[in-house]
Structure 1
Amino acid sequence: MELYLRVRLACSEGMSQREAAKHFNISRDTVRKMLSYSVPPGYRRSAPVRRPKLEAFIPIIDGWLEGDRSVPRKQRHTAKRVFDRLREEHGFTGGYTIIKDYIRERDQRGREMFVPLAHAPGHAQADFGEALVEIGGVEQKAHFFVLDLPHSDACYVRAYPAAVAEAWMDGHVHAFAFFGAVPLSIVYDNDRCLVSKILPDGTRLRARLFSAFLSHYLIRDRYGRPGKGNDKGSVEGLVGYARRNFMVPIPRFATLDAFNLWLEEQCRKRQNDRLRGESETIGERLQRDLAAMQELPASPFEACDQTSGQVSSQALVRYRINDYSVPVRFGHQEVWIRGYVGEVVIGCRGEVIARHSRSYEREDVIFDPVHYLSLIEQKINALDQAAPLQGWNLPEVFVTLRRLMEARMGKHGRREYVQVLRLLESFTLADLHGAVKQALDMGAIGFDAVKHLVLCRVERRPPRLDMAIYPYLPRARVETTSARSYMRLLSSDAKDAA
């Protein structure tokens, strides 16, 4: 640009074009162009690029690339594959570069264009994303639910072990509680947890749990086109934002609940941000969203999958390819099952009979050892091989108690030890642990003694054991009644009271 200015100034002061070309060591054509334009016009192609070696093969290339629309993305033609096929199948003699340039230009011409959208207050978009996290020292993949309010750009993020239907519903329930209101409508993709089928006319056949959720909150559901993430671009962008800003570096928390509390705090902090092109913060614009949204219903939606099952001969109930134990007295009976995000609840008629932490493994078996103790008491020879008791980490005092019971009473001692464990059906492990430890200190090695001691701990009264006799029953104190006590009934005071 400096040379451009000097040439134009020199010519304006009387220097000829020939002299200017010689003085500045440039061509006369260049001088002529400098005098024609006040600033460099840049390179201008007067005619489109011609590729004579390629033109006859363009219909073939276009046919291949059009056919790629119906095959998986990873199995589509690359420029290198097009070049190889043209040489092998059609005798192409040109170079690879013209193939690559043509395909790049064709892709640019075919890229989709988008219309900028304006978002009215009170509406939302929802989606799930994935990221690596470390929970309790174990690195694992977390699936995080994201709800976005596009008008204000306010968001809510919550992590789950898996993106199951219950997680979708639970994420909404927590998001609504976070904002204190319910959106008028929500845009979704066509996830199988929400949409069981897309009918030929485009109507969505909703999953049962999702339909119940929409009915509870009276939300209008809207859907993007299959495979078109730009139909809900706000939440798609927010999924990436949450991954880059909330999960880099890899989050490390003791529990998933602690991680989710931290995520909620990050969502609150983000409301203080002012985004590009906006004069208000996210929190200020959020007030318009909240004013347009619906009030929360009287009670939140119960985000659980409900089904039924039957107890097997091993006191197991199958739910989502995993088996969960129930007390053996319910063997072979029909039960109902409620699957929450973190818990599986099993009941029989109107009674809850088992609660387990939910497993997301495949073909896992989740035992509660207490469920099998009554059966093991009857089949005492199965004590050491019982699968439900394997890996049951009881305090060391229980091992000592069993060893002393078996040493003193033989096989009957093993049965009494199981009877002691069965006290867990009614008392906590902490109370039973304290009672067993106290029994060992007193030398009262027996079920009756442990039962009496745990009752005393719960009722907060001192134990009274007769250590001189077995089976260590509470010592009874019987007093002798004197004749004077009966004579008191004949006194005048007693008659007046009567």
Structure 2
Amino acid sequence: MYSVDTYLKVRLACHHNGLSQRAAAREFGISRKTIRKILAHSEPPGYRRTAPIKRPILEGFTGIIDQILDDDKGVPRKQRHTAKRIFERLRDEHGYLGGISTLSNYIREKSLGNKEAYVPLAHDPGHAQVDFGEALAVIGGVTMKAPFFVMTLPHSNAVFVKAYPRETTEAFCDGHVSAFAFFGGVPLSIVYDNTTIAVAKILGDGKRVRTQVFTRLQSHYLFADKFARPARGNEKGHVEGDVGFSRRNFMVPIPRFENFDALNADLEAKCLNRQNDKLRGQRKAIGERLLPDLDALVVLPAVPFDACEKVSTRANSISMVRYRGNDYSVPVAYAHREVQVRGYIHKVIVASGTETIARHKRSYGKEDSIYDPLHYLPLLEQKVGALDQAAPLKNWDLPSEFAILHRLLEARMGKKGKREYVQVLRLLETFTMEDVHEGIKNALNMKAIAYNAVKLLVLCHVEKCPPKLGSDSYPFLPKANVEITNPNSYMALVGA
């Protein structure tokens, strides 16, 4: 390869000074064929391959190499063959005698030939893309993986992010409800990957069978759906890029919050703040370019979608229903009956018909038992022998005065005292913990150790009136007979 200086000298000598090609070849020591190339080009044209590279040492092995590379497409990326591993297999299994560099060059050229090219896309206002990402977060002092929902409007690059304890059906639905509220409307269409939350089955012709919950969500908000081809992340490249952006910029350093509500308030503030940014190649900030997006959105329905998973099940003999591997209590009156469980992000609600019969904080543990002690009190009133071993009452965080009252009632009345203590606990079905606690404290101070006394004192506290405790309120108490003092009794003591 000759330099551009040589090109200049040869071309001046021949074109300006009239030197023949034969004479130029003798003067510059260059072949006449090369002189003709120099006269045809103003500068070196660069190296141009006229035929494929031949690698005789690989003959007979290229088919094996190609098959290994094809098989690797169906396995996880981190378990695919490296050039070194293919070299070792060819050497050990097929008697390959060549070097690894020849093999590496062949694999590199194959991979370049297989890389897909893409067409840059322009996005109309009012359309969205959705995906989930995952990041570490410290919630309530516990380090955990926190999946986060991302909705982006590609026209403006505006983004909404919300984190959840798990990537579940109810998180998927709640993410949509929250994103629609954040943007103030419903996108005309949304692009998804083929998540099993939305797609129950992909048919042979590429049509999707939607899940029941996704169909309900779509029917409520009336947006069009589009699904990317399997393993074609470029078809929703905007949201995949925003998933990475959100993780790097919104969640570094690792966020630390007391609960998910606090974390999500911080994420929403960061999404709003990002609308002040001006992206490369754009003349306007995201917030300005968001205005056409917002104008194109569909008006929100009057009532938001009920973002939960609904499951029909049956309460068992110990008044528990199972949801997502954990057991939740219901009132004992509903044991063995059909009920419906609604699983939300942070709560579980159980209903019988149109009546809500139980509410619990949701557990994301495994095989947990979540009790409401009040559910079991009617049964314990009948079966007081189970009071001391009742699992629903074991971890009930009650004020210390409750235990004192329990001990005194049982000491004075035995089994009947246990029953009266359960009756006192049942006051919590009607009154607040504060009211019942105040009634028990007053009863202990007045040494009125009985259910009727506690009930009266609770009512007095609620109605803010002084208590009236008399023998008429306690007909079961023995009447005291007060006799006139006999002086002879004292004389007997003096004589002793």
Which bin holds the TM-score, normalised by the shorter protein? 0.7 to 0.9
Q: 2:307 corresponds to which residue?
A: 303
- Deviation sequence 1:19-78 (CA, Å, 0-9, x none): xxxxxxxx999xx99xx8999979746666543322442232112212333344444332
Question: Which amino acid in structure 1 is aligned with residue 402 of structure 2?
Answer: F
Query: Is it true that 1:217 corresponds to 2:229 in the alignment?
Result: no
**Cα distance 1:326–1:258, how it changes in 2: closer, same or farther (>3 A)?**
same
For 1:406, which of 405, 410, 416 is the aligned residue? Answer: 410
Q: 1:427 corresponds to which residue?
A: 431
Is this contact kept in 2: 1:449–1:472, CA < 8 A? no
Distance 2:43 2:347 in 1: 71
**Cα distance 1:469–1:119, how it changes in 2: closer, same or farther (>3 A)?**
closer
Distance 2:254 2:74 in 1: 37
Query: Is it true that 1:124 corresponds to 2:153 in the alignment?
Result: no
Is this contact kept in 2: 1:446–1:471, CA < 8 A? no
Q: 2:116 corresponds to which residue?
A: 112
Is this contact kept in 2: 1:316–1:325, CA < 8 A? yes
For 1:141, which of 142, 145, 152 is the aligned residue? Answer: 145
How much has 1:441 moved relative to structure 2? 2.3
Q: 2:421 corresponds to which residue?
A: 417
Corresponding residue SS for 1:393: coil
Distance 2:437 2:122 in 1: 64
Distance 2:125 2:279 in 1: 17
Q: 1:22 corresponds to which residue?
A: none
Is this contact kept in 2: 1:125–1:187, CA < 8 A? yes
Query: Is it true that 1:378 corresponds to 2:372 in the alignment?
Result: no
For 1:444, which of 434, 437, 448 is the aligned residue? Answer: 448
Q: Which runs of 5+ in 1 are unaligned?
A: 13-26, 474-498
For 1:80, which of 65, 70, 84 is the aligned residue? Answer: 84
Distance 2:67 2:338 in 1: 60
Query: Is it true that 1:95 corresponds to 2:102 in the alignment?
Result: no
Question: Which amino acid in structure 2 is aligned with residue 397 of structure 1?
Answer: E
Q: 1:466 corresponds to which residue?
A: 470
Question: Which amino acid in structure 1 is aligned with residue 235 of structure 2?
Answer: D
Corresponding residue SS for 2:191: strand
Question: Which amino acid in structure 2 is aligned with residue 67 of structure 1?
Answer: D
Corresponding residue SS for 1:259: helix
Q: 1:358 corresponds to which residue?
A: 362
**Cα distance 1:112–1:467, how it changes in 2: closer, same or farther (>3 A)?**
farther
Q: 2:258 corresponds to which residue?
A: 254
Is this contact kept in 2: 1:182–1:296, CA < 8 A? yes
Identity %: 57
For 1:155, which of 154, 159, 180 is the aligned residue? Answer: 159
How much has 1:321 moved relative to structure 2? 2.5
**Cα distance 1:299–1:97, how it changes in 2: closer, same or farther (>3 A)?**
same
**Cα distance 1:193–1:407, how it changes in 2: closer, same or farther (>3 A)?**
same
Is this contact kept in 1: 2:139–2:258, CA < 8 A? yes
| Deviates most, 144-153 or 345-354 | 345-354
| Deviates most, 77-86 or 418-427 | 77-86
Question: Which amino acid in structure 1 is aligned with residue 218 of structure 2?
Answer: L
For 2:197, which of 193, 197, 202 is the aligned residue? Answer: 193
Distance 1:357 1:332 in 2: 23
Distance 1:380 1:93 in 2: 85
Question: Which amino acid in structure 1 is aligned with residue 255 of structure 2?
Answer: P
Distance 1:255 1:445 in 2: 42
Is this contact kept in 2: 1:315–1:330, CA < 8 A? yes
Corresponding residue SS for 2:73: helix
How much has 1:162 moved relative to structure 2? 1.2
Q: Give the structure-2-normalised TM-score.
A: 0.84
How much has 1:185 moved relative to structure 2? 0.4
| Deviates most, 132-141 or 215-224 | 132-141
Question: Which amino acid in structure 1 is aligned with residue 83 of structure 2?
Answer: A
**Cα distance 1:140–1:468, how it changes in 2: closer, same or farther (>3 A)?**
same
For 1:344, which of 344, 348, 356 is the aligned residue? Answer: 348
Corresponding residue SS for 1:363: coil
Q: 1:486 corresponds to which residue?
A: none
Is this contact kept in 2: 1:444–1:467, CA < 8 A? no
Query: Is it true that 1:236 corresponds to 2:240 in the alignment?
Result: yes
Distance 2:476 2:231 in 1: 74
- Deviation sequence 1:289-324 (CA, Å, 0-9, x none): 011111111111111222322221101112233221
Q: 1:287 corresponds to which residue?
A: 291
Query: Is it true that 1:453 corresponds to 2:426 in the alignment?
Result: no
Question: Which amino acid in structure 2 is aligned with residue 382 of structure 1?
Answer: A
Distance 1:339 1:242 in 2: 28
Q: 2:274 corresponds to which residue?
A: 270
Is this contact kept in 1: 2:452–2:473, CA < 8 A? no
Is this contact kept in 2: 1:444–1:472, CA < 8 A? no
Is this contact kept in 2: 1:343–1:358, CA < 8 A? yes
| Deviates most, 65-74 or 430-439 | 65-74
